[in-house]
A and B are shown apart, each in its own frame.
Chain A
Amino acid sequence: MELVCPAGNLPALKAAVDAGANAVYMGFRDDTNARHFTGLNFDQARALEGIRYARKRGAKVFAAINTYPQPAGWSRWQDAVDRAAALDVDALILADIGVMDYAANRWPELRLHLSVQGSATTAEAIRFYHENFGIQRAVLPRVLSLAQVRQVAADSPVPLEVFGFGSLCVMVEGRCLLSSYATGLSPNTYGACSPASAVRWQQTPAGLESRLNKVLIDRYREDEPAAYPTLCKGRFCVDDHTYYAIEEPASLNTLELLPQLQAIGVAAIKIEGRQRSPAYVQQVTRVWRAALDACRRDPQGFRLQPAWRDALQKVSEGTQTTLGAYHRPWQ
């Protein structure tokens, strides 16, 4: 299985490559990718430098152009595809049908991957993108159980990439409008969920409050660690109970499922986190490299090393990790 790691900037790209990533994925500095955060991503010169660095060390580079253009912004997405093609990236990661149609026609030699933002949960959905645009890999949403991944893998016309580690979207990616409902900006339209520009922190007598465009997402007592107010990870009131009504802050970690994912025939494991630091990327990549190598050498004898778990726990959101939907009871 290929290890696909996040490159939010050049130092992170180098960290991932040095720590053993088989491929890194990056985006340009605008709303054409789903990590449209201030200070993140690549201009053309940096991208070129990154690609050279990766190639020299045998790693591939994918460009994520995985948001949904509207007519007024269309040229930016078209331009992003052209720029990525000029950079000779190893693959484009796309979500929008229109962008895919453009890329497939304009750059027929360019390899296309279906982004998780394309929200294909079945082999039939994947077949749509394969038949119409010749995609060669699909990234599955983080909502399927292991049995469901196995089923999709058995029927899919192309190899699959699944998420192994990082932040967890509880909603099907590409079809979640919670962020734009509260702020006007969503992953689909703007490339960011619960964008920083809409976040307000305020110390009040009731505690530290986090808001997204005036909506109270959470409130913390002094002894509680405060988390970034991602909308679905706030505490809300339902039937007079206040709790994490949608999702508890936790990281996805599927390290222990590696032998099963390998047996299913999954082609690649994706690590989330282009917004994370180079140190984080290095740490996570190193652990996953070691685990993937161990699993390939001896899948039957594969055991979680306590050192791996400790290293990953240390960098995890809310310090809790979960198998997410891969583990059926979670659903």
Chain B
Amino acid sequence: MTGSVPRISLGPVLYFWDRELLLDFYRRIADTQVDIVYLGETVCSKRRSLRTDDWLELAGTLRQAGKEVVLSSLALIEAGSELASLRRLCGNTDFSVEANDMGAVQLLSGQRPFVTGPAINIYNHRTLSVLAGLGLKRWTLPLELSRDTLENMQQQRPAGVETEVFVYGRLPLAYSARCFTARAANLPKDDCRLRCLDYPDGLLLATREQQDFLVLNGIQTQSARTCNLIGELEDLVRLKVDVLRISPQSQHTEKIIEIFHACLHSDYPLHDAETALQALMPTGPCNGYWHATAGMDSHIVEEAICQH
């Protein structure tokens, strides 16, 4: 590839996994080629497989393994207890923080450099520049924005600010005060019995003609299809994207990281990578947002081989 090679990040685990599954997952991640690891519960504060101290210990271990660790904040803050946790998270001085709501942005502004996740609405230069002035060091392109918007944003990116793009995973599309997993089980949210533990990749929602459409993940709604921008790697490099984010799934995450890494660092043909990745997805692929069409669309990628 021409241009500097982007680093690979692993987004926060968006699902509710039990303690063993999580610890085992990150033990394996420590041995992968991933450069940056986002850690923490971003969806529901009732999910407590790991306590704050456990996360911090894990963060230390991953840092020892050479990873840059970022602690991710909850995307929807409602209860006072959640705000208190957010304050503690933003007050930690050992690791940088990924802000996933504007409360977190406020707590970090002017205090220390911070990162924003895909649910922070940075849709134009002026927004990016205001946040850069408040300490933003890396932003993630909002999921519904296209390649052309990214290109435009990159042209006037403030000095010292890095750009990250969500390149692989089911897309977190919406947040609610209601829990749709509990609703599916006919349970009230207050007595959800942590049913999302049963769905390590979320609960599939189909249309009445059996088209897999969305995924219910507690209070979060995701795309059923897996966003995959591997076919756009050359473009991502050309646009000087600094970090490519892979969102964890319960199976094959290491393999997915390996494929992206191979495409970035060796001659692994993108077409083969595309085929290999499709076999690892729970449902099919999509990349419509990149092409400025419906997010669920899948545009066919031209055959291409990485060139160095």
Write the residues of chain A forming the contact surface with B, with a CB cutoff of 8 angstroms.
68-72, 74, 95-99, 101-102, 118-122, 124-125, 127-129, 131-132, 143-145, 148, 151, 170-172, 174-178, 180-184, 186, 188-189, 213, 215-219, 232, 234-239, 241-242, 245-247, 325, 328-331
Contacts and interface: CB of A to CB of B under 8 A. Distances in A.
Contact of A128 (B102, B177, B206): B102
Contacts of A186: 144
A68 B123 contact: yes
19 contacts: A69-B123, A71-B152, A71-B153, A72-B152, A97-B127, A98-B125, A98-B129, A124-B103, A131-B106, A143-B177, A170-B178, A176-B175, A178-B221, A215-B207, A216-B209, A236-B205, A237-B207, A246-B176, A329-B190
B208 A188 contact: no
Given A120-B102, A217-B207, 19 more contacts: A96-B121, A119-B102, A120-B103, A121-B103, A128-B109, A175-B175, A176-B175, A177-B144, A178-B214, A181-B223, A181-B296, A183-B294, A218-B208, A236-B208, A236-B214, A237-B205, A237-B207, A245-B216, A246-B221
A98 B130 contact: yes
Contact of A171 (B123, B174, B211): B174
B158 to A, nearest CB: 13
Looking at B134, B214, B216, B288, the one whose CB has the most chain A CB atoms below 10 A away is B214
Contacts of A119: 101-102
A70 B146 CA distance: 10
A102 B173 contact: no
Given A122-B83, A143-B76, A98 B127 contact: yes
A234 B130 CA distance: 39
B149 interface: yes
B106 A172 contact: no
Contacts of A245: 180, 183-184, 205, 216
Contacts of A178: 173-174, 214, 221
A312 B80 CA distance: 34
Nearest to A105: B126
B76 A96 contact: no
Contacts, number: 210
Given A236-B205, A236-B213, A331-B189, A96 B296 contact: no
A238 B174 contact: no
A72 B155 CA distance: 12
A267 B31 CA distance: 55
Q: Give the top 7 A-B pairs by smallest Cβ distance, nearest first.
A: A98-B126, A143-B177, A128-B106, A124-B103, A125-B102, A181-B295, A98-B127
Contacts of B143: 177
B14 interface: no
The A interface, classified by DSSP as helix, strand, loop or mixed, is mixed
Nearest to B179: A331
Given A177-B143, A184-B294, A121 B152 contact: no
B122 to A, nearest CB: 8
Contact of A122 (B77, B204, B208): B77
Looking at B76, B144, B174, B288, the one whose CB has the most chain A CB atoms below 10 A away is B174
Nearest to A329: B188
B171 A177 contact: yes
Contact of A184 (B80, B175, B292): B292
A327 B83 CA distance: 21
Looking at B83, B189, B203, B210, the one whose CB has the most chain A CB atoms below 10 A away is B83
Contacts of B184: 238-239, 241, 245
A310 B300 CA distance: 54
Interface in B69-88: 75-80, 83, 86
Contacts of B161: none
B105 interface: yes
Contact of A188 (B76, B144, B171, B214): B144
B114 to A, nearest CB: 12
A121 B208 contact: no
A149 to B, nearest CB: 10
A125 B152 contact: no
Contacts of A242: 208
A197 to B, nearest CB: 12
Interface string B45-57: 0000000000000
B149 A97 contact: no
B131 interface: yes
Nearest to A330: B178
A77 to B, nearest CB: 8
B288 to A, nearest CB: 7
A71 B149 contact: yes
Given A184-B293, A186-B144, A69 B173 contact: no
Given A121-B78, A174-B121, A186-B144, A331 B177 contact: yes
Contacts of A102: 126
B165 interface: no
Contacts of B223: 181
Nearest to B207: A216
B242 to A, nearest CB: 19
A141 B104 CA distance: 17
